[in-house]
């Protein structure tokens, strides 16, 4: 499955009702660190393709979801492991290796 975009209207269905692990990137096209992290997300997509969904939310076009989640700066990456586990987040540009370590993807995505 490829990286996909979601909207305020679809966030509940696409992310919160997802049965498996999903990583959500809150970004904007004018944000240089956001653009840089896209390459890192593509690396994760290549590594975990069928086991991890990756969604992107353009905060300029979809302001309600970031506001409801109290997102104050971008890029913000939120990982929803699935089930009843609490989501984890990272704020700021980072690498695929750091995201993998922070979210324990090698353990959670099997």
**Superfamily name with CATH number, domain 4-108:** Glutaredoxin (3.40.30.10)
What is the residue extent of each domain of the chain? 4-108
Cα→Cα distances 54→13, 47, Å: 14, 12
Give the separation between CA 77 and CA 9, rounded to whole angstroms: 19
Residue 1 has pLDDT above 60, yes or no: no
For 10-61, what is each residue's pLDDT tens digit?
999 999 998 889 999 999 999 999 999 999 999 999 998 788 999 999 999 9
State the catalytic residue, choosing from 31, 35, 69, 91. Answer: 31
Give the separation between CA 8 and CA 52, rounded to whole angstroms: 21
The pLDDT score that the predictor gives to residue 60 is 97
State the catalytic residue, choosing from 34, 59, 78, 99. Answer: 34
Task: Say whether 68 is catalytic.
Answer: no
For 52-96, what is each residue's pLDDT tens digit?
999 999 999 999 999 999 999 999 999 999 877 789 999 999 999
pTM of the model: 0.92
The pLDDT score that the predictor gives to residue 2 is 81
Task: Say whether 34 is catalytic.
Answer: yes
**6-19: b (≥16 Cβ within 10 Å) or e:** beeeebeebbeeee
């Amino acid at each position: 499955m490829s990286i996909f975009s979601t909207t305020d209207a679809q966030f509940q269905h696409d992310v919160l009702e997802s049965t498996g692990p999903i990583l959500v990137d809150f970004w904007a096209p004018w944000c240089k660190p956001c653009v840089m992290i896209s390459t890192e997300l593509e690396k994760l997509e290549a590594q975990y393709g069928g086991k991890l969904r990756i969604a992107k939310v353009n905060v300029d076009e979809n302001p309600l979801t970031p506001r409801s989640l109290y997102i104050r700066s971008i890029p913000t990456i939120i990982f929803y492991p699935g089930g009843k586990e609490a989501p984890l987040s990272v704020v700021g540009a980072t690498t695929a290796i750091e995201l993998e370590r922070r979210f324990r993807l090698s353990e959670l995505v099997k």
